[in-house]
Amino acid sequence: MNTQSAISLPFSLDSFGNIAKAETPQKFWGDRVRSVIGTALRERVMQPDFGTNIPFTIFNNQDIASVEIQNTIEQAFPEWLSALELGDVTVTPDDVSGEIKVLITYSLPDKKEVNTEIGFLIIDSTNPFYEEISS
């Protein structure tokens, strides 16, 4: 796919007040990967099956959430990103910060391999997310 220019996702304005654009295939497909991964199932009224259940998995403990995130991404690629070839999904939980980092490696339609990194903050049931923890 030769992408001349497309609206960057999520919709935003650049520093000059213009609509932000995705002008490379890496940016174009990276935006779409983030869009699928970051959209919760049933979030889009006209397309309730679009997205993943990742926003719901982050309420689990880190081990369960890590496995569910990896499985969900592996299922989402053939469903919503079939033009891309999924290579590897690396899920790395950080026990100190409570964040899970996900590195997704995939091949673009032109067979160029790229990575997209996404981070999720885990909501641990022992510490409500609104509670500030002081040391």
Residue range of the domain that includes 95 = 18-121
Give the pLDDT score at 123.
54
Residue 58: which CATH number?
A: 3.10.450.40
Cis peptide before 109 (omega within 30 of 0): no
pLDDT tens-place string over residues 33-88: 888 988 888 988 999 999 898 888 877 778 888 899 999 999 999 999 999 999 99
DSSP string, 51-106: SBSHHHHTTS-HHHHHHHHHHHHHHHHHHH-TTSEEEEEEEEEETTTTEEEEEEEE
What is the mean predicted confidence (pLDDT) over 108-135? 64
Total domains, the chain: 1
Residue at 84 is within a domain: yes
pTM confidence score: 0.74
Residue at 9 is within a domain: no
Residue at 82 is within a domain: yes
- Percentage helix, strand, coil for the chain under 3-state DSSP, each rounded to 5: 25, 25, 45
Residue at 100 is within a domain: yes
Compare 97 and 63 and report the one with higher pLDDT.
63
Residue at 5 is within a domain: no
Residues 97, 106: Cα–Cα separation, whole Å = 27
Residue at 43 is within a domain: yes
Residue at 25 is within a domain: yes
Give the pLDDT score at 78.
94
* 3 state SS of 126: coil
Residue at 133 is within a domain: no
